Structure 1
Amino acid sequence: AQMMGLLKGAKVALFPSLAEGFGLLQVEALSLGVPIICSELDIYREICGEFPVYATTSNAYAWRAEIEKLLHQDSKNHGRVGSDQAQFKAPRWDAHFNLVLQHFG
């Protein structure tokens, strides 16, 4: 409950990970309408698609620029960044396993 409260109040969530198993925190943030900036991992692209801002983990200047850009957009929109964009749809486990099982079929 505390984590969800923090996410709901966030203007942006940052995920500069070098490795990730699934991306559950990113999915939770996007599902709440919180924009995210994350590293360029294949799993993030697979799970989150084009919703995040992707940045190279080793480039602190790029991260700062993206954070400032999102915060500036947020202040101009008086609310969540990207609220006029398509709504993120979290992946479903049944769809995932149906895809996996097709390869063993």
Structure 2
Amino acid sequence: MSSERRQVSLRRGVRTSLRLTAWAAILAAGTAVAFRLPQKSAQTRQEPAELRPVPANLEGLWRFRTDPDDAGERLGWQRPDFRDDDWRQLRVPGGWEAQGITDPRPGMPPKP
């Protein structure tokens, strides 16, 4: 096998390995996200600045309440005019457990 063919074969193997590693990481995390790794470096171009998403800063105090009975949507928690004055405030960044909130359904998987 020529040196050039070995290099092409090696590159294919590395790309396949990277793809499999990415999928394994996604599956291990239990995430329902899919993406395709680029096949060629020409596909890894940068988008123009006006098309790139602008990151949102979510730091600060947020109103928080668990919903173990799935009542939130029915009660209109998503509406802008919903009164959440009696809800706890949590600081972001930070974990809810570290701020004194326990799992309302211990031992159960989180709901989507």
TM-score (norm 1): 0.21
TM-score (norm 2): 0.21
